[in-house]
Chain A
C-alpha cells in the first residue's frame, strides 16, 4: 500500500481538556493507614467498611504492580498521589440541585451533561462524580417511585449499609489484583444501584466521571445489584482536563444479576489520552466484573474506549446461573502513543451458559492495541457455548495490534468458536469513498464506523451517535 496516499491532517485538540477553577478540599499526597482512616472518617463510614479498607490496604502493601500486560509506563509513585479531593461545599451534601455549586453545574453543562431539570438528558438519570465525590444525582424522585435506588456510593453507605455489607467485594474481592486492592483501600465515591425484584428500571441510568484536580487519583467504586426478574441499563462516561502529568484512575465496578435479571452496562471512555508525543493522559486501570448469580440471568458489557494514555481493563462475567448469558462488545481505539490492553474473561460455571465476545481494535499513529481474553469452562458447565470474534483495523504502519485469546476448557460438551482478523484500512476503500466525493477524513471515519457497527448497535440509542462522533474526533490527525 502506498503510504503517500494517506496524508497527515491537522490535529484537533481534546475538547474536554479544560479545568474548573473551584476550591477543593484535597488531602496532601501520600498513602498510609492514616489516610485511609481519614477518608473513612470524612465519609462517616460504619466500622465494617473501615475494617474492610484497612484489610485491603494491608494486602495491597504485599503486592507489586502487574507486569504481564502489553503496556509500558513509568513506575507510579503512589506516595505522590493525593487520595481525596472534593469541591468545597457549604453543607455536608447538597440536598437539591439548587445547592450545587454553579461552577460545577457549568462544568457538566460544558461537558454536554446538563444536570438542571429543564436541560436534563431526556430519559436518562445522571450521577455526576467530580474528582472524589458525587456532586449530584438527577431524577431521584422518579426512580424512587419505581423502587429503584440510584445514588452516590457514599449516600448508599449511610442509607443502605446492609446492602453494601452484603454485596460489596463479593464479585471483585480486594484480593483480586493490585489495583482492586488499592481501590478497596482508598475508594472515595461512585454510584450505587439497586433494582428491586420484578422492576424494569424506567430510564437509563448514567454516571459521569470527571477528574478535575491535579495530582489526584480517582478511585471510584460502582455497585449494581439487579434483583430477581429486574432489568437495568447503565451508562458510564468520563473525561479529564489536559495535563502534562499522568493521572491515575483505578476504578472497580461490580455487577450482580440474580435470577432472570438483566444488566446492560455501557461505557464511553474518553479520559484525556495525552498529546501526540505521549505526554500526560490518564492511566486507566480498571477492574470490572459481573456475576450472573441466578438462572437465566444476563450481563452485557459494551465499551467504547477512545481515551486514556493507558487502558488496562477486562470487563468480565462469571456465569454461575444455569442458562446465564454473558456478553462483551468492545471498540478500543488507540491513536498517537496511546496503549490499550483490554478484553474480557468469561467464566462458565452454570449449565448451558452462553457467552459472546465481539472485540474491535483500531490502531492509528503509534498506538498499541491488545485484545486479551479468557474463556474458561469449568467441569460443571455442561453445554457451555462461547463465540469470540476479534477484529483489528490498522490505520498506519507504525501502530500495532495484538491478540491473546486464551481458552481453558474443562468440559468436553463445550462449544467454542473463535474468529479473528487483522486488516489495514483498505486503500481501495478509501479511494472508492473519495471518488464518490467524500474527503479523506470522512472516508476514514466512515470506514471505521462501519467496522465498529456491530458494537455500536449494542449501545443505547442516545449514546450511539455520541460514540460515533467521539471516534471521529479521536481519529483526527490519525491518518498517515
Chain B
C-alpha cells in the first residue's frame, strides 16, 4: 500500500540555513497492517507524517513515496486525501468561526466529489455523524462549536478520531493521538482505530507509549532516531523500549 524509499528531507530554518531532518527512511506497509513508529523527541516522526500528507515547505532531496503503486510526490494535500490518506495531527488546528459539523461535511463532500461520488445530503450526513460521534464519546454540542476552538487537549484528539471515522481513510497516520489522553479516552481512541481495522486499510501509529499498543496491537514496530529507522521488530520491541528507553539503541547505532 505504502512504500517509502530512501527518503531524505530537510527544512530551511529562520536563518535560511538548511537543516536535515530525515536521512534515508525506508518503510513498506502492506494493506491491513498496523505499523507503530516510536522514537525520541525531535527524531522526525511528525516531519515524516507531514511529508506523507503533502505539507509544503520541505526539501525532499532524495527518495520516493509510492502510495497504491503511484508516486504521490507531486500531489497536493487534498489530492492525497482523496486517495485515502488521513493524518490525525499531533497538534490539531483551531479554525475560529468555522462550525465543526460544517467543516466535516465540506471535507467529506469534497473528498466524495474528487472521487467522483455524489455529495451526501444534509439528512444522511446528520445521521452518519450522530452515530460516529457516539463512538468517540463526544457530546453533540461539539458539532456546533468552531473547529477545535477552545477544545481541551483530549477533546481535540477525540475530534481527530471522529474525523477519521467519518472520512474512512485507507491509510491513517495517527501522530501521538494518545498523548494527553485520560485512560478512558485512550480506550476510545483504540476502539475507534480497531473498528476501522480491515484487510485493506492500514495504519501508522506514532506514539511514545507502549500502553496504546496494548489496545491497538501493531504488526510492526519501528524505532526512529535522528531521521533514520534504526530498528524494526514485532510488538515486543515496544515493551523492550518501555523498559530500556532509547539509549541502548542509539549506542548500537554509534557503534555500527
- Most B CB within 10 A of own CB, among A5, A433, A434, A436: A436
Query: In whole angstroms, how far apart are the Cα atoms of A433 and B76 in the complex?
Result: 12
Closest Cβ of chain A to B173, distance in Å, is 10
Query: In whole angstroms, how far apart are the Cα atoms of A429 and B77 in the complex?
Result: 13
Closest Cβ of chain B to A474, distance in Å, is 18
**Beyond A436-B163, A440-B76, is A450–B97 a contact (Cβ under 8 Å)?**
yes
Chain B residues positioned under 8 Å from A431 (CB to CB): 50, 53, 55-56, 77, 93
Chain B residues positioned under 8 Å from A427 (CB to CB): 57
Residue interface mask B46-57, A partner, CB < 8 A = 1: 000010011111
Q: Is B81 an interface residue (CB 8 A)?
A: yes
Q: Is the CB of B95 within 8 A of A4?
A: no
The residue of chain A having its C-beta at the shortest distance from the C-beta of B91 within the complex is A428
Q: Is the CB of A432 within 8 A of B93?
A: yes
Q: Is A437 an interface residue (CB 8 A)?
A: yes
Chain A residues positioned under 8 Å from B129 (CB to CB): none
Chain A residues positioned under 8 Å from B81 (CB to CB): 434-437
Q: Is A452 an interface residue (CB 8 A)?
A: yes
**Beyond A5-B57, A428-B93, is A435–B106 a contact (Cβ under 8 Å)?**
no
Chain A residues positioned under 8 Å from B146 (CB to CB): 450
Q: Is B87 an interface residue (CB 8 A)?
A: yes
Q: Is B108 an interface residue (CB 8 A)?
A: yes
Closest Cβ of chain A to B151, distance in Å, is 14
Q: Is the CB of B96 within 8 A of A437?
A: no
**Beyond A429-B93, A446-B103, A450-B146, is A435–B53 a contact (Cβ under 8 Å)?**
yes
The residue of chain A having its C-beta at the shortest distance from the C-beta of B146 within the complex is A450
Q: Is B167 an interface residue (CB 8 A)?
A: yes
Query: In whole angstroms, how far apart are the Cα atoms of A431 and B78 in the complex?
Result: 9
The residue of chain A having its C-beta at the shortest distance from the C-beta of B173 within the complex is A435
Residue interface mask B176-205, A partner, CB < 8 A = 1: 000000000000000000000000000000
**Beyond A5-B57, A450-B146, is A436–B103 a contact (Cβ under 8 Å)?**
yes
Q: Is the CB of B98 within 8 A of A435?
A: no
Q: Is B41 an interface residue (CB 8 A)?
A: no
Q: Is the CB of A451 within 8 A of B96?
A: yes
Closest Cβ of chain A to B88, distance in Å, is 10
Query: In whole angstroms, how far apart are the Cα atoms of A2 and B56 in the complex?
Result: 8
Q: Is the CB of A434 within 8 A of B93?
A: no
Q: Is the CB of A446 within 8 A of B93?
A: no
The residue of chain B having its C-beta at the shortest distance from the C-beta of A431 within the complex is B55
Q: Is A279 an interface residue (CB 8 A)?
A: no
Q: Is the CB of B167 within 8 A of A437?
A: yes
Query: In whole angstroms, how far apart are the Cα atoms of A146 and B71 in the complex?
Result: 69
Query: In whole angstroms, how far apart are the Cα atoms of A4 and B59 in the complex?
Result: 12
Q: Is the CB of B78 within 8 A of A434?
A: yes
**Beyond A2-B56, A431-B55, A431-B77, is A437–B92 a contact (Cβ under 8 Å)?**
no
Q: Is the CB of A437 within 8 A of B78?
A: yes
The residue of chain A having its C-beta at the shortest distance from the C-beta of B96 within the complex is A450
Chain B residues positioned under 8 Å from A429 (CB to CB): 93-95
Q: Is the CB of B107 within 8 A of A437?
A: yes
Q: Which of chain B's residues 20-58 have a Cβ closer than 8 Å to chain A?
A: 50, 53-57
Q: Is A439 an interface residue (CB 8 A)?
A: yes
Q: Is the CB of A432 within 8 A of B76?
A: no
The residue of chain A having its C-beta at the shortest distance from the C-beta of B76 within the complex is A434
Query: In whole angstroms, how far apart are the Cα atoms of A428 and B104 in the complex?
Result: 17
Q: Is A447 an interface residue (CB 8 A)?
A: yes
Q: Is B110 an interface residue (CB 8 A)?
A: yes
The residue of chain B having its C-beta at the shortest distance from the C-beta of A1 within the complex is B57
Q: Is A426 an interface residue (CB 8 A)?
A: yes
Chain A residues positioned under 8 Å from B106 (CB to CB): 438, 442, 446
Q: Is B212 an interface residue (CB 8 A)?
A: no
- Most B CB within 10 A of own CB, among A427, A431, A432, A442: A432
Q: Is B114 an interface residue (CB 8 A)?
A: yes
Q: Which of B57, B78, B89 contacts A439 (CB 8 A)?
A: B78
Q: Is A453 an interface residue (CB 8 A)?
A: yes
The residue of chain B having its C-beta at the shortest distance from the C-beta of A443 within the complex is B78
Chain B residues positioned under 8 Å from A422 (CB to CB): none
Q: Is B82 an interface residue (CB 8 A)?
A: yes
Q: Is B111 an interface residue (CB 8 A)?
A: yes
The residue of chain B having its C-beta at the shortest distance from the C-beta of A427 within the complex is B57
Residue interface mask A405-426, B partner, CB < 8 A = 1: 0000000000000000000001
Chain A residues positioned under 8 Å from B107 (CB to CB): 433, 436-438
Q: Is the CB of A436 within 8 A of B97?
A: no
Q: Is A454 an interface residue (CB 8 A)?
A: yes
Q: Is the CB of A432 within 8 A of B95?
A: yes
Chain B residues positioned under 8 Å from A453 (CB to CB): 96-98
Q: Is A449 an interface residue (CB 8 A)?
A: yes
Q: Is the CB of B93 within 8 A of A437?
A: no
Which residues of B are in contact with A by a Cβ distance under 8 Å? Answer: 50, 53-57, 76-78, 80-82, 86-87, 89, 92-98, 103-104, 106-108, 110-111, 114, 146, 163, 167
Known A4-B57, A5-B57, A437-B82; 14 more pairs at CB < 8 Å:
A431-B56, A431-B77, A432-B89, A432-B92, A433-B95, A433-B107, A434-B78, A435-B89, A437-B81, A437-B110, A438-B106, A446-B95, A449-B98, A451-B96
Which 6 A/B pairs are nearest by Cβ-Cβ distance? Answer: A450-B97, A453-B97, A450-B98, A434-B77, A437-B111, A436-B107
Task: List 14 interface pairs A-B (beta carbons < 8 Å), by A numbering.
Answer: A426-B93, A429-B94, A431-B77, A434-B76, A435-B53, A436-B104, A437-B107, A437-B108, A437-B111, A440-B76, A449-B97, A450-B95, A450-B96, A454-B97
